Amino acid sequence: MNADCEAVRQAAMEEIDALEDLRALEESRVRFLGRKGRIAALMRLLGETSPEDRPALGKAINEVKEALTSALEARKQELEARDLAARAAAEAVDLSLPGRRPRQGHMHVINQVIDDIVGIFVELGFQVAAGPDVETEYYNFDSLNTPSDHPARDSHDTFFVKPGVVLRTHTSPVQMRVMERTQPPVAIVVPGRTYRVDNDASHSPMFYQIEGLLVDHGVTFADLKGTLALFVRRFFGPDTKARFRPHFFPFTEPSAEMDISCSVCRGAGCRVCKHSGWLEILGCGMVHPNVFGYAGYDYETYTGYAFGMGVDRIAMLRHAISSISFLYENDVRFLEQF
């Protein structure tokens, strides 16, 4: 009978030594110590044993049982310690490593330029206005003295949304939207997106403009020149010169384009200004009486000036950016430079 006990002990010890995880250990425990386990089987033998042999056998079984219990417990602690060590190694944090800085974003270069330009006019008393990107042909063209057969419309290469509705080709329609709901004096600047069917190194199908409009009693071309000359000195630097060239726009009369002395070569002539020493940066003029007619303003009482500039071009000049596409590709290596 002690031989049976010894066999169970032997088998159990070998198995326990070989256990590699806690689940297998639990299975072993059930197999040996469980209600239907091998120790229980030994206990049943007690009944068939003669009374004089019984105490010795009982003692032997108890010893095996205790030996197994403590062997299982010891192995369990080993396995738990091993698991814990493995987890600690896997989740270890090296507190001596330098931290990783969170990446910080900043304003896009276009928005920086818009803020700077608008800020200058706001200081002069202009208010900021806005209008829809999807615009009617009436506001984008007709009410700005540009009827459907007008040659100036060709140069705009318009995206049509549906008949009568376009993506605005300039910010000028906001002039009309504001005048319709406001009586003079009016002094606004309008930064916004504009759209034209155009795509090359200096044109993007979506681009930005800033519109300006000032209407009051007795506004003259001299006011326009003075205000814009001040603007360019503030924005491009105090030495910047401005010149006005006669031009044509349907919504202003007279009209002009304004050039500034080349910010790259300071007038000496370079590739950027095509060796002319001058850079064209905006269109402007005195508001056409017909435009006042559409707005419901009396052109005998009021006069006004307007201007419109391309933000992308100005940003490119300011930062010597060679292609407009850089502004819209959102390559962080590019954007981080500003």
Write out the residues near ligand DAH by the rule CB under 6 A: 170, 172, 211, 249, 252, 283-285, 306-308
Environment class of residue 234 by beta-carbon count within 10 Å: exposed (0-12), middle (13-18) or buried (19+)?
A: middle
Shorter beta-carbon distance to ligand DAH: residue 251 or 326: 251
Shorter beta-carbon distance to ligand DAH: residue 152 or 335: 152
Shorter beta-carbon distance to ligand DAH: residue 27 or 253: 253
Alpha-carbon dihedral 289, 293, 296, 301, rounded to 10 degrees: 30
For residue 38, which of 16, 66, 7 has the smallest C-alpha distance?
A: 7
Shorter beta-carbon distance to ligand DAH: residue 28 or 172: 172
C-alpha separations of 231 from 120, 132, 237 in Å: 7, 26, 9
For residue 195, which of 204, 187, 186 has the smallest C-alpha distance?
A: 204
Instruction: Tell me how far, at minimum, the Cβ of 123 lies from ligand DAH, in Å.
Output: 20
Those residues with Cβ within 8 angstroms of residue 327's Cβ, 6 or more apart along the chain or in another chain: 109, 110, 204, 312, 315, 316, 321
Give the number of other CB atoms < 10 A from CB of residue 193.
Answer: 14
Distance CA(123)–CA(235), nearest Å, equals: 13
Instruction: Tell me how far, at minimum, the Cβ of 93 lies from ligand DAH, in Å.
Output: 58
3-class SS shares of the chain: helix, strand, coil, % to 5: 45, 20, 35
Instruction: Tell me how far, at minimum, the Cβ of 285 lies from ligand DAH, in Å.
Output: 5
Shorter beta-carbon distance to ligand DAH: residue 129 or 284: 284
Instruction: Tell me how far, at minimum, the Cβ of 252 lies from ligand DAH, in Å.
Output: 4
For residue 111, which of 324, 317, 308, 338 has the smallest C-alpha distance?
A: 338
Instruction: Tell me how far, at minimum, the Cβ of 209 lies from ligand DAH, in Å.
Output: 6
**Rg over CA atoms, the chain:** 43
Q: Strands (DSSP E) along the chain, which ranges?
A: 127-128, 134-136, 160-162, 165-167, 186-195, 206-216, 242-249, 252-261, 278-287, 303-310
Distance CA(83)–CA(75), nearest Å, equals: 12
Instruction: Tell me how far, at minimum, the Cβ of 156 lies from ligand DAH, in Å.
Output: 8
By Cβ distance, which residue is nearest to ligand DAH? Answer: 308
**Residue 87 has which token pair?**
């987890």
Instruction: Tell me how far, at minimum, the Cβ of 311 lies from ligand DAH, in Å.
Output: 12
Shorter beta-carbon distance to ligand DAH: residue 143 or 252: 252
Shorter beta-carbon distance to ligand DAH: residue 170 or 177: 170
Instruction: Tell me how far, at minimum, the Cβ of 326 lies from ligand DAH, in Å.
Output: 22
Shorter beta-carbon distance to ligand DAH: residue 192 or 308: 308
